[in-house]
């Protein structure tokens, strides 16, 4: 039970750490101090908040295959956002694996898809009253439309293929919503190897792989339909310990890099 002392002053109540759109922009600018990262604004939300992108690679982007990272379509899903931050941070490390990875691949990161919903404390919707993760295929919402266009344009300009899309969310428990076995992406069966590698790398933890067929216009299906790319919804429990979120995201990033570098 929660008891509150209320007065005429405004009282904010939050079940998770408060991570506003300003925080996401500051974090993105901080990350963009790395020489392999370019920061840009790729559009605006319905209420005119910036939509930010980070473009990560070394040298010439031409022909480099692309991994896309999305986060925070759903405002309260802070633990997924925290995982995304650790995941991206690991891709930017100075170790050999990450350097080789940035040389071979390009990573597009959209850290906050729903800035209006986040700042206004919405449960699931954007300022248009729509669940953004049900708009991939309709593109009726400015946020999805801007980000879809940005991904497609960047891939076209550099003649690159998108091979993997990762969308970070939160729910009751840690799990991975993946493709059902009949869906073969261009990097099939990457997912099975990745889940095994994460499993082997973390004692006393087994990834909860939940495959299901495409039946809704969500980002996972869009990556498959648009690019024949692999895609997973990376779900973190709302109450997963923060140090474990960080550890698992870094291991997931390392194992992804190890597997993809071998292609």
**Residues making contact with Zn ion (CB under 5 A):** 74, 77, 169
Comparing CB distances to Zn ion, the nearer of 24 and 92 is 24
Query: What sign for the dihedral angle of Cα 85, 58, 63, 196?
Result: negative
Residues 234, 252: Cα–Cα separation, whole Å:
10
DSSP at 37: E
Task: Confirm if 139 and 156 have CB atoms less than 8 A apart.
Answer: no
Minimum CB distance to Zn ion, residue 122 (Å) = 12
Residue 47: other Cβ atoms inside 10 A: 14
Q: Which residue is nearest to Zn ion (CB)?
A: 169
Nearest distance in Å: CB 74, Zn ion: 4
Cis peptide leading into residue 199 (ω within 30°): no
| Nearer Cβ to Zn ion (73/158) | 73
CB 127 to Zn ion: min, Å? 17
- Please say which residue, 74 or 250, places its beta carbon nearer to Zn ion: 74
Residue 55 Cβ vs Zn ion, minimum distance, rounded to whole Å: 24
Query: Minimum distance between the CB of residue 77 and Zn ion, rounded to whole angstroms?
Result: 5
Dist. CA 47–CA 105, nearest whole Å? 34
Task: Provide the sign of the torsion angle of the four alpha carbons 157, 163, 167, 168, taken in this order.
Answer: negative
Least separation in angstroms between residue 143's CB and Zn ion is: 14
Nearer Cβ to Zn ion (21/219): 219
Q: How many CB atoms neighbour CB 208 within 10 A? A: 12
Q: Which residues pair with 56 in a beta bridge?
A: 37, 107
Nearest Cα to 79, choosing from 174, 177, 166? Answer: 174
**Which CB atom, from 37 or from 118, has the smaller least distance to Zn ion?**
118
Q: How, if at all, do strands 162-171 and 230-237 pair? A: parallel
Nearer to Zn ion, 77 or 174 (CB): 77
């Amino acid at each position: 039970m929660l008891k509150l002392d209320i007065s005429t002053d405004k009282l904010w109540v939050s079940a998770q750490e408060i991570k506003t759109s300003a925080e996401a922009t500051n974090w993105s600018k901080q990350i963009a101090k790395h020489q392999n990262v370019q920061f840009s604004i790729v559009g605006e939300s319905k209420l005119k908040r910036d939509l930010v992108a980070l473009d990560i690679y070394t040298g010439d982007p031409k022909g480099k295959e692309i991994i896309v990272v999305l986060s925070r379509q759903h405002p309260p899903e802070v633990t997924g956002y925290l995982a995304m931050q650790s995941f991206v941070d690991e891709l930017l490390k100075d170790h050999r694996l990450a350097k080789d990875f940035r040389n071979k691949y390009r990573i597009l990161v959209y850290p906050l898809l729903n800035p209006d919903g986040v700042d206004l404390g919405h449960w699931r919707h954007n300022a248009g009253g729509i669940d953004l993760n049900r708009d991939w295929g309709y593109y009726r919402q400015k946020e999805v439309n801007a980000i879809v266009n940005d991904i497609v344009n960047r891939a076209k300009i550099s003649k690159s293929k998108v091979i993997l899309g990762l969308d970070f969310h939160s729910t009751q428990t840690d799990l991975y919503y993946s493709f059902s076995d009949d869906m073969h992406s261009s990097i099939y069966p990457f997912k099975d190897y990745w889940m095994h590698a994460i499993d082997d790398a973390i004692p006393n933890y087994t990834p909860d792989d939940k495959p299901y067929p495409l039946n809704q216009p969500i980002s996972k299906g869009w990556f498959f339909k648009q690019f024949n790319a692999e895609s997973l919804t990376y779900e973190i429990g709302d109450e997963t310990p923060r140090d474990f979120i960080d550890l698992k995201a870094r291991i997931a990033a390392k194992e992804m890099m190890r597997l993809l570098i071998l292609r």
